[in-house]
Amino acid sequence: MRVSDTMTRDVRVASPNQTIQDAAKMMSDVDAGVLPVGENDRLVGMITDRDIAVRAVAKGMKPDTPVRDVMTSEVRYCFEDEDTEQVARNMGDQQVRRLPVVNRDKRLVGILSLGDLAVMQGSRPAGEALTEISQPGGQHSQSGGRAM
């Protein structure tokens, strides 16, 4: 199955100049824990509710802090025409639960989550990815990659 058959297409995009309070409100409005960050029609980062909590609130940053100050700028993504099983393995290897989906012109067209994979393909690909993602540490760990 292709990513385009599984992904969520209706995605809100934050600007790096918006505040983290704006981003949190957008997340609340769409009941999502992540927003792609775009500038000049290009994907420049991702911000999660965890980024806001751990990178901003825990460090005493104010609600008017720009998204760019807490977002992840190294964005992993997948292409809409890729095979979902391969993408699920990559998500496990990279320890990420969601990936922005781009077309071959690298324009954002959706987002793929483990939940999308589980609903569309059953528990096997999503479960295997989650097993890898749930390993302690990793490059996306808030504790700097150390096992707890």
pLDDT tens-digit map of 21-41: 999 999 999 999 999 999 988
Q: What is the pLDDT of residues 40-53, one digit of tens each?
A: 888 999 999 999 99
109 assigned to some structural domain: yes
143 assigned to some structural domain: no
CB 36 within 8 A of CB 111: yes
145 assigned to some structural domain: no
- What interhelical angle do 84-94 and 123-133 show, nearest 10? 20
First to last CA, the chain: 36
147 assigned to some structural domain: no
Question: What is the domain extent for residue 104?
Answer: 3-133
Q: Position of tokens 């990659």?
A: 145
Show the DSSP H helices in the chain as ranges. Answer: 20-30, 49-50, 84-94, 114-121, 123-133
Number of domains in the chain: 1
80 assigned to some structural domain: yes
